[in-house]
Structures are given as C-alpha cells and as structure tokens.
Chain A
Amino acid sequence: GAGVSQSPSNKVTEKGKDVELRCDPISGHTALYWYRQSLGQGLEFLIYFQGNSAPDKSGLPSDRFSAERTGGSVSTLTIQRTQQEDSAVYLCASSSSGLRSYEQYFGPGTRLTVT
C-alpha cells in the first residue's frame, strides 16, 4: 500500500518568509509525528498527533513553529518568519496508533533551505 508522503520534497525560501510543509500519513494510521533532522544531528521530535486528542507540541523549538492535522489525516507544519537555523530535513512519520509508536513509518522528508 501507499506509504507516508510529503510535499514538497525540496523548498528553498528567503529568510523571513513563511513556509508550509505537508504530510499524508498511511491510510488508517491515527498517530502522526513530525521530526527535524539537521546535518550531523539525530532526529529531533517536534510534535505528535493522536486521533482527535490535543497534540503534544513539547518539541516545537519556538512559537514560529505550528502544526495542524485536519480530519485526522493530513498534517501541515508551518514555520513563520523562517531563519537560517531552520534549514533542515523535516520528516513526518505515522503509526497505526499511539500504542504502536515503536513502529513508526517515515516519509521521504522535505529538505528546507533558508537563504
């Protein structure tokens, strides 16, 4: 079946502009995660959605970052007033439920470059 998809695959933006990154999880997966992967760094957790519950935003690095998930499926990560330190690969993952968080499936990522 179809895996996790993300768009765009690459995004180049100027410092100060806003960007939106999209994630389509695996059909039927109720849990959705966003991570950031910077050069030389591990994967950094950003935010977690489970069904209709309030998301866990504890990993968001600043209030310039926000995310929403509509209809329990597609999710959008928004970065406002982008900074050069936001340049990274943003990865989305999903799992069948929060109880199976050990079995997360990742999308290909969006490579964000802030110039």
Chain B
Amino acid sequence: QKEVEQDPGPLSVPEGAIVSLNCTYSNSAFQYFMWYRQYSRKGPELLMYTYSSGNKEDGRFTAQVDKSSKYISLFIRDSQPSDSATYLCALNSGAGSYQLTFGKGTKLSVIP
C-alpha cells in the first residue's frame, strides 16, 4: 500500500461548481497536511496547511482533515477557470521531520 493515494483524475467541472479533491494515507504519524497547486510548467505553490484534524478555510478554499479515517480533502467553492491546475497533497509527521510525502496530484479543469 502506498503511503499517500490521490486520484490522478483528470477532473473536469463547470465554472462555479464546488470541487472536492481528496487524499488517503496509511501512516498515522502524519501531523501536517498541505495542499499545493501546480500550474503547467510551474513549481508547486503552497495553498494552505493544516495541523492535526479539523477544518481550515482560506477564501474559496477549505481544507479538511479526518485523522481517524486517514482522509484529507480540499474543497474549492465557486470554482474559476484560473483554478485549472494539478493539486498535490503533501504530508509531514512534524517533530523535526523535514520530508514531505506527496500524492501524485489530481489534474483539475474548470470549464467556462
């Protein structure tokens, strides 16, 4: 079983839709949960990070962590064509651990 599983998509939604992106993981030691957005031929851009379980909201983006189910989600409300990108989840166990474990990314297209 891979440490982090992420559906590669592609996921295509109409403009204005609510998008749900997800990752599952197997290692219960993970404490920090990050979402990165990567546009084509660009580096990953940190969108937000969450520590432990719970929700975190930033504008149209909401990150949700359920450690009991080892399941993390990113919701995008009122999706825009500019949201079209690959979204990567990344996990870190904290406590001085410096390695991020990445999902392979989900490619999202928001159609005008």
Q: Digit string of A93-109 for contact with B (CB within 8 Å is 1, else 0)?
A: 00000110111111111
Given contacts A102-B32, A102-B34, A102-B49, contact A109 B94 (CB under 8 A): no
Complex alpha-carbon distance, A103 and B104, angstroms? 19
Q: Of B4, B44, B90, B99, which one neighbours A48 at CB under 8 angstroms?
A: B99
Given contacts A45-B99, A101-B98, A102-B32, contact A91 B88 (CB under 8 A): no
- B-facing residues in A54-112 (Cβ within 8 Å): 56, 91, 98-99, 101-109, 111
Task: Tell me whether B102 and A109 are in contact (CB under 8 A).
Answer: no
Chain B residues with Cβ under 8 A from A6's Cβ?
43
Task: Tell me whether A43 and B96 are in contact (CB under 8 A).
Answer: no
Task: Tell me whether A104 and B46 are in contact (CB under 8 A).
Answer: yes
A93 to chain B, nearest CB (A): 8
Given contacts A31-B98, A42-B103, contact A103 B42 (CB under 8 A): no
Instruction: Report which A residues bind B (CB closer than 8 A).
Output: 4, 6, 31, 33, 40-43, 45, 48, 50, 56, 91, 98-99, 101-109, 111
